[in-house]
Amino acid sequence: MNDPRPVGVFDSGIGGLTVVKALRDLLPNESICYLGDTARVPYGPKSSETVQRYAVELAGMLMRKNAKALVVACNTVSSVALPLLANKFSVPVIGVIEPGARAALQATRNRHIGVIGTRATIRSGAYEKALRATDNNVRVSSRACPLLVPLIEEGLLDDAVTDQMIMRYLQPLLADGIDTLVLGCTHYPLLAGAIARVVNRQITLVDSAQNCAHAVEEMLDRQSLRAAPPNNAQLYVALTDAADNFLNVARDALELSFGEVELQPLP
């Protein structure tokens, strides 16, 4: 079993590097091509049809780089475009929602799960559907948190303003009695420390990036697509527009090492 082709990973911006970090830690022999659509971020406020069109374009760009699998490192795209991508492309397609939902169901003790994400992810009800497909009796409390991504992208990961916004968003979920919280946006793992600090009680955080990486590992094994060691695994990062300061924030916070970032204009 040795397939040295890269795993293709894409996101609406740079937040999906949390998934790349989890993949690098779990699958060090796999090369990864990451594509961030910095020209059109954010996807959260956009219509489902627009997000689907963008997703097909980005997936096509990764397929031209000979990707052996497509990882949708974006909750918004995962919530509205996975079936379309699976039908359109011949390689396996994995999103972040199903793995996150499975992990949340394993973690919860009182069957009451909270979900936070962008407006588009919460509006889609994708996590509720995925959770209830396995356990129809699970309670789900969801909350859109539109200001968290801008705060993260400004690098305010350890800041009183961010802590106040986290508490403002999470207070209703905590009052509802959740015991498990799904971080339903790939930016949010960068706030895991702040959320744990602010919540200050026993809430299990479910990191969709980590669980997505485990789902990719299972798929590569199941379909005999793993790269055999020793493989000179590379990480290529391409963006559709010039990066702002958040690329440095993500690189530093995630301790990711990659070379020059390629500018990949949209077709």
- Of the candidates 175, 190, 208, which is a domain's last residue? 208
Catalytic residue check, 212: no
Task: Please indicate, yes or no, whether residues 223 and 255 belong to a single structural domain of this protein.
Answer: yes
Task: Please indicate, yes or no, whether residues 187 and 113 belong to a single structural domain of this protein.
Answer: yes
204 vs 222: CA distance, rounded Å? 29
Catalytic residue check, 33: no
182 vs 170: CA distance, rounded Å? 12
89 falls within a domain = yes
Task: Please indicate, yes or no, whether residues 204 and 149 belong to a single structural domain of this protein.
Answer: yes
Burial class of 132 by CB neighbour count within 10 A (0 to 12, 13 to 18, 19+): middle
71 falls within a domain = yes
- Residue 188 belongs to what domain range? 97-208
Task: Please indicate, yes or no, whether residues 175 and 227 belong to a single structural domain of this protein.
Answer: no
Helices (H), 89-147: 97-107, 119-124, 126-134
| Dihedral over alpha carbons 102, 7, 11, 47 (to 10 degrees) | -80
Backbone angles phi, psi at 155, to 5 degrees: 80, 15
2 falls within a domain = no
Q: Kindly give the pairing relationship between strand 32-36 and strand 7-11.
A: parallel
> So what's the pLDDT on residue 239?
94
> Which domain CATH number covers 130?
3.40.50.1860
Task: Please indicate, yes or no, whether residues 115 and 162 belong to a single structural domain of this protein.
Answer: yes
Number of domains the chain contains: 2
Tens-of-pLDDT digits for all 267 residues of the chain?
789 999 999 999 888 999 999 999 999 999 999 999 999 988 888 899 999 999 999 999 999 999 999 999 999 999 999 999 999 999 999 999 999 999 999 999 999 999 999 888 999 999 999 999 999 999 999 999 999 988 998 889 999 999 999 999 999 999 999 999 999 999 999 999 999 988 877 899 999 899 999 999 999 999 999 998 877 899 999 999 988 777 888 888 898 888 889 999 887
1 falls within a domain = no
27 falls within a domain = yes
What are the tokens at 3?
Answer: 């397939």
Q: Which of 33, 74, 145, 212 is catalytic?
A: 74
Q: Which of 33, 145, 185, 212 is catalytic?
A: 185
State pLDDT tens for residues 6-33.
999 999 988 899 999 999 999 999 999 9
Task: Please indicate, yes or no, whether residues 121 and 51 belong to a single structural domain of this protein.
Answer: no
201 falls within a domain = yes
Task: Please indicate, yes or no, whether residues 228 and 198 belong to a single structural domain of this protein.
Answer: no
Task: Please indicate, yes or no, whether residues 109 and 163 belong to a single structural domain of this protein.
Answer: yes
115 vs 206: CA distance, rounded Å? 9
Task: Please indicate, yes or no, whether residues 53 and 139 belong to a single structural domain of this protein.
Answer: no
The model's pTM: 0.92
